[in-house]
A = this chain, B = another copy of it.
Amino acid sequence: MSMDAVFRALADPTRRQLLDSLHARNGQTLNALCEHMDMTRQAVTKHLAILEEANLVTTMRRGREKEHYLNPVPINEIAERWIGKFERHRLDALSDLKQRLEREEP
């Protein structure tokens, strides 16, 4: 599980959409994931393979179906690379504040 693979995997908008889809509903099969996508099944398969190689997605064979699960660990490691622990808490607080302000404004 090289970090390089993780970053490369996250670079593509389709793959991020797949992660979003799994974040919303975990354990989806290939066909289920394909339904939201506007491309062939084979293209989606390739993207999932890249996500798997990056260890961002874990799979489980169940009969003739393949279930896909999101793995958040590598994403957390990204944040830890360039953000110090203290700075990170500060940024989280800032982002919370921003969200609260956005919610309160008309």
A72 contacts B76, C-beta separation under 8 Å: no
A82 contacts B23, C-beta separation under 8 Å: yes
- Measured CA separation A82–B54 after assembly (Å): 15
Q: A10-B7, A11-B10, A11-B11 are in contact. Are A72 and B78 (CB under 8 A)?
A: no
Kindly report how many copies of this chain are found in the complex they form together: 2
8 Å CB contact of A88 from B76, B85, B91:
B76
Q: How many positions in chain A have a CB within 8 Å of any CB in the partner chain?
A: 29
Q: Other than A7-B13, A75-B79, A76-B83, give 15 A-B pairs with Cβ distance below 8 A.
A: A4-B13, A7-B11, A8-B11, A10-B10, A10-B11, A19-B82, A72-B83, A72-B87, A75-B82, A76-B88, A76-B92, A76-B95, A80-B92, A80-B95, A85-B92
Chain A positions within 8 Å of B, measured between CB atoms, are 4, 7-8, 10-13, 16, 19-20, 23, 70, 72-73, 75-83, 85, 87-88, 91-92, 95
